[in-house]
Structure 1
Amino acid sequence: MALVKDNLLLYAVRGSLGDQFTIYERNDQIIIAKKRGPSKKKPTKKQLEARYKMKIAAAYAIAILQDPELKAYYKSLAGPGQNAYNMAVKDAYKAPEIQNIRFEEETVVVTAKNEFRVASIDIRVVDAAGSILERGKAVLGRNGVDWHYKIANLPPGGKVVVVAVDLPGNETVREVRLE
């Protein structure tokens, strides 16, 4: 790979030169690189999964950028050489992370984070038999990380199921068994 500086000949040239070189521009720099061809190897299972995940993320990015508010949100997070589409793909590629679930009296406090934004936290209280006793959405606390949900009662032997959802709809589920 070579970076080209102040060359009038390559100033307006982009694309491939035969089967030898590719000339392209990134971050206002002209780059000449060896032309790459398709791989001769059969893709692995992990590569196929990554390609599928990227295909879904790209489809999300294209769809979400039709909304001017979300497009402006993603554009505000873009750094140099990035755009709203790049940020939307990055957001769709990773699910939110539930870091901690704790109980403060009758309140469940969930600490969740995402590189971009956690859209909602859903809470379900399930008894020992597997019946849902209560469900609802947690409310974001003042610190912007903790979500609070007030529970009517905690059934012994039951569990609390926490579902964190980000803007693209990626979900992370964690359960806490009650003693």
Structure 2
Amino acid sequence: MAIVKDNNLLLQAVTGSLGDEITIYERNGQIIVAKKRGPSKKKPTKKQLEARYKMKIAAAYAVAIIKDPEIKAYYKSLAGPGQNAYNMAVKDAYNSPEIQRIRFEDETVVVTAKNEFRVAEVAIRIVDAAGSILERGKAVLGRNGVDWHYKATGLPPGGKLIIVAVDLPGNETVREVRLE
């Protein structure tokens, strides 16, 4: 790969491939000359097929979501040089939120959930030892922007807490905690 440094008149108006040898394209205002790549002759692995499917879903989300002017403006505000709202929406849809920490402050469950973009909601279910749902609800985002608070009516010993963090594209991360 070569980056053309000077304002070359010949390459300034040229993009595309020249035969089967080289490709000329522009990225971030720079002209790049690279060896032309062809399709791979190897059969894709299972992981590659999964990644392709995940990218296909993320791209479909991005196409649909940037039709909403508010959400498009949100993603555009996060874009860096050479990026746009579509790129940010694909990146958001490709990654799930992360539940980093769960702690108890008396009867309040505090969940620290992060995402590179935004965690849309955190839902809590409290299940007893027999598997019956005793309580469910949505946590409230704290002032620091990462801690979600849920005031439980009771935490039964031997039961479990099921926490679901959801981001803007709808990716879910589920964590279960046994109650002692």
What pairs up with 1:126-141 in 2 under 5 angstroms? 126-141=127-142
Question: How far is 1:10 from its partner?
Answer: 1.0
Query: 1:60-103 CA distances to partner (integer Å, 9 max, x unpaired)?
Result: 11111011111000000000011111111111111000000111
**Does the alignment pair 1:177 with 2:178?**
yes
Matched, 1:47 2:33: no
1:147 maps to which residue?
Answer: 148
1:48 deviates by 0.6
Give the Cα separation in 2 of the matches to 1:131 and 1:25.
59
Give the superposition deviation at 1:129: 1.0
Query: 1:115 aligned to 2:116?
Result: yes
1:7-18 aligned within 5 A:
7-18=8-19
SS at the partner of 2:169?
coil
Residue aligned with 2:10, SS: coil
Match of 1:162 in 2: 163
Q: Which residue of 2 aligns with 1:84?
A: 85
Question: 1:145: Cα distance to partner?
Answer: 0.8
For residue 35 of structure 2, what is the aligned residue in structure 1? Answer: 34
Which one-letter code corresponds to 2:157 in the other structure?
Answer: P
**Structure 2 residue 118 is matched with structure 1 residue 125:** no
Aligned CA RMSD, in angstroms, stands at: 0.6
In structure 2, how many angstroms separate the alpha carbons of the residues matched to 1:31 and 1:178?
Answer: 58
Whole-angstrom CA distance in 1 between matches of 2:104 and 2:166:
21
Q: Give the alignment of 1:44-83 within 5 angstroms.
A: 44-83=45-84
TM, length-normalised to structure 1: 0.98
Listed one character per residue, the Cα deviations across residues 141-176 of structure 1 (whole Å, up to 9, x for unaligned) are 001110000001111211110000000100000011
SS in structure 2 at match of 1:66: coil
Match of 1:2 in 2: 2
Question: Unaligned stretches of 5+ in structure 1?
Answer: none
Q: Distance in 1 between matches of 2:132 and 2:16?
A: 61
Q: Find the aligned partners of 1:100 and 1:33 in 2 and give their Cα distance.
A: 46
What is the percentage of aligned positions where both structures have the same residue? 85
- Whichever residue aligns with residue 12 of structure 2, its letter is Y
Aligned residues: 179
Amino acid at match of 2:33: I
Which residue pairs with 1:93 in the alignment? 94
Where do 4+ consecutive residues of structure 1 move more than 4 Å?
A: none
SS in 2 for 1:23: strand
3-state secondary structure, aligned to 1:54:
helix
Q: Equivalent residue of 1:9, what SS?
A: helix
TM-score (norm 2): 0.98
